[in-house]
Structure 1
Amino acid sequence: MSLSIGCTLMCEQSSPTSLVTYARRAEEAGFPFAVMSDHYNPWLDEQGHSPNAWVTLGAVANATSTLELMTYVTCPIGRYHPAVVAQQAATLGVLSEGRFSLGLGAGENLNEHVVGEGWDPVNVRHERFSEALEIINRLLDGGYVNFVGDHYRVDSAKLWDLPESRVPIGVAVSGPQSIGVAAPWADFMIAVEPDADAVKGFDEATRASTPARKVGQLPISWDADRDRAVTRAHEQFRWFAGGWKVNAELPGPSAFDAATQFVRPEDVAEQIPCGDDVDAVIEAARPFAEAGFTDLALIQIGDEAQDQYLDAAPELLAALKQEFGG
């Protein structure tokens, strides 16, 4: 039941310069890895940011030396063509000297509709995702790639700068359908819910030697003042109550605001550890360890609360490591 604890560099709540600073501090605090969201919009206006993840990750790679980096997650079927995603991943693999892993997912309407091509139903998104995964994998293998599919074409594409070690690919899954589509193309699993059945299903379908790496994510609102922590969690993370299948379909921050207008602070506090209780964070992390996850990235909610969280991080990490290893 070993569980490695990382951190989340959350683009939706912090400026790019702040994210680079937080990454450097996270490395100093002892986090072994950091994941970064890749959004065009925040979920809610109150979050107030959404810089380009790839540019920011390049700066983070330059500012750190040991911190493993990961997209959590990039969608290669809308804003980005899969050939462009492959080039970005390879370049970041070079710049980070092998510290980058590519996390991919089938996307959210919130971010992908901005290029004006609409938002496909889930079965079409999965078709596009499968083709994108094949293209990205073939390009990362090296050499020229030509591809003609139902959704994408690639004409004599080649990645001219590849890292010494191939960039690992992770896929975000939420059930048997997405596992069946994506796991055969992937080295590790990404999920935001501690689903033991998904873990088992992924290991049966992945190309990786099993058991594969499983990377989860857990929001917390760390603060010495619990009331302030609850208020901040409700203000900036009430969207979390909707669940993935709903959240993937909403088109913008105003829709998330409307969808969560009846979510109360106490509802959020029931789902997210709020305050400075280490035991509460341990208990929230436990289902991931028990489900078979190998890694868990904590999200500290609120840009204004990052400093006190990172000050407390060594003690929190020590307690989590004592409980779960990693």
Structure 2
Amino acid sequence: MTVPLRFGYKASAEQFGPNELLDFAILAEEVGFDSVFISDHLQPWLHEGGHAPASVPWLGALGARTSKVLIGTSVLTPTFRYNPTVVAQDFATLGVMFPRRVILGVGTGEALNEANLGIEWPDPPERFQRLKEAIELIRLLWADDRVTYEGKYYTARNITIYDKHDDHPVPIYIGAAGPAATRLAGRIADGFITTSGKKPGLYTETLLPALHDGLQKAGRTADDVDTLIEIKVSLEDDKDVARDKTRFWAPLALSPEEKMGVDDPIEMQRLGEQLPIERAASRFIVSDDPDEHVERIGWYIDLGFRHLVFHDPGDDQAGFLRRYGEEILPRLRARYGA
């Protein structure tokens, strides 16, 4: 089986309320996008003007208002705010309602979403082990009629998920920015999620080799895992306007060290506001030339990414969707096939 080339829309829950965001996602299907992924945050990157609608009920509304786009989370943390058993139940239900359209994207989490709940925010190795165990429990609940499970972090006794689609359970994608979680995605996941705009060597020397290492250790091939990358893009007729649109998303340009342990969106906003606009825009493909967008997006396709989910930073999401649907997606499909 060859993994198809897909183009998706990143529904930015941090920037828009649920109703407005739903309208944009419905439009994405209408103009030719193949998938819609929503972020899952308890709190947004910015306090002023930020939003944080719950992803699971929003996906239910999206599934009911669309007919063919794939829908999923990029990414949800099934280890702290959500017990893995609840995640298994939620996504089993979505999978029954919208068969073969739902994807559960998971990750190890960020302090902004989890640490402010009174838990002791653990170091990355423990968060990784919790994620691995949570995935094991979720899949067990989907596979077996009645589950008793005793793990290091999670316990389930006499649990049955009554409403699930036995023929095709929801695929699980693992989001990763480092080699350990990427290797895990290669070993056990249906898909791998990462983000664009970082140093090229991260993809060519760290992430993709780790993915292939995981695949090899599990006796799998590249066709066994979907490779999804969120690509941050800003296309305007005026390049300065395209650059300035990225200001809202300046916290994305903070280094892991700069935002480590930050659990308050007011503080995250303050840190982002200190960055110059050039650095805020550094994670994005910023250009006034559609051909340049195609070329720079093509770099990721040439690396082997097969599912490209586009994130535009501006307020006019409808304009972005229509323009990308008319000018960029057809060029990419003509050039690379889909």
1:253 aligns with 2:255: no
1:214 aligns with 2:239: no
User: How far apart are residue 243 of structure 1 and its match?
Assistant: 4.1
Structure 1 counterpart SS, 2:104: strand
Mapping 1:269-308, distance limit 5 Å: 269-302=281-314, 304-308=315-319
Structure 2 counterpart SS, 1:155: strand
Structure 2 counterpart SS, 1:146: strand
Report the TM-score when normalising by structure 1. Answer: 0.91
Aligned to 1:23: 25
User: How far apart are residue 182 of structure 1 and its match?
Assistant: 5.0
Aligned to 1:173: 176
Return the alpha-carbon distance in structure 2 between the equivalents of residues 135 and 22 of structure 1. Answer: 34
Mapping 1:36-185, distance limit 5 Å: 36-163=38-165, 164-185=167-188
Mapping 1:176-255, distance limit 5 Å: 176-193=179-196, 195-196=203-204, 197-206=206-215, 209-211=220-222, 212-234=225-247, 236-243=248-255, 247=259, 249-255=261-267
* Residue pair 2:243, 2:277 contacting (<8 A) in 1 also: yes
Structure 1 counterpart SS, 2:91: helix
Structure 2 counterpart SS, 1:147: strand
Deviations 1:110-160 (A, max 9, x none): 111232213111111112112111101111213111111221111111211
Q: Which amino acid aligns with 2:8?
A: G
Q: Which amino acid aligns with 1:199?
A: L
1:182/1:215 CA distance change after superposition, 3 Å: closer
User: How far apart are residue 255 of structure 1 and its match?
Assistant: 2.7
User: How far apart are residue 49 of structure 1 and its match?
Assistant: 0.9
Greater mean deviation of Cα atoms: 48-57 or 187-196: 187-196
Structure 2 counterpart SS, 1:311: helix
Return the alpha-carbon distance in structure 2 between the equivalents of residues 182 and 153 of structure 1. Answer: 23
Return the alpha-carbon distance in structure 1 between the equivalents of residues 109 and 300 of structure 2. Answer: 23
1:76/1:103 CA distance change after superposition, 3 Å: same
Return the alpha-carbon distance in structure 1 between the equivalents of residues 292 and 116 of structure 2. Answer: 38
Greater mean deviation of Cα atoms: 54-63 or 4-13: 4-13
1:182/1:214 CA distance change after superposition, 3 Å: closer
Aligned to 2:321: 310
1:24/1:325 CA distance change after superposition, 3 Å: same
Report the TM-score when normalising by structure 2. Answer: 0.88
Return the alpha-carbon distance in structure 1 between the equivalents of residues 85 and 91 of structure 2. Answer: 10
Which consecutive residues of structure 2, in runs of 5 or more, have no partner in the other structure? none
Greater mean deviation of Cα atoms: 145-154 or 264-273: 264-273
Q: Which amino acid aligns with 2:253?
A: A
Return the alpha-carbon distance in structure 2 between the equivalents of residues 12 and 77 of structure 1. Answer: 21
User: How far apart are residue 39 of structure 1 and its match?
Assistant: 0.7
Structure 2 counterpart SS, 1:317: helix
Return the alpha-carbon distance in structure 2 between the equivalents of residues 124 and 94 of structure 1. Answer: 32
Which consecutive residues of structure 1, in runs of 5 or more, have no partner in the other structure? none
Return the alpha-carbon distance in structure 2 between the equivalents of residues 208 and 68 of structure 1. Answer: 27
Q: Which amino acid aligns with 1:44?
A: L
* Residue pair 1:180, 1:205 contacting (<8 A) in 2 also: yes
Return the alpha-carbon distance in structure 1 between the equivalents of residues 182 and 118 of structure 2. Answer: 28
* Residue pair 2:251, 2:280 contacting (<8 A) in 1 also: no
Greater mean deviation of Cα atoms: 168-177 or 258-267: 258-267
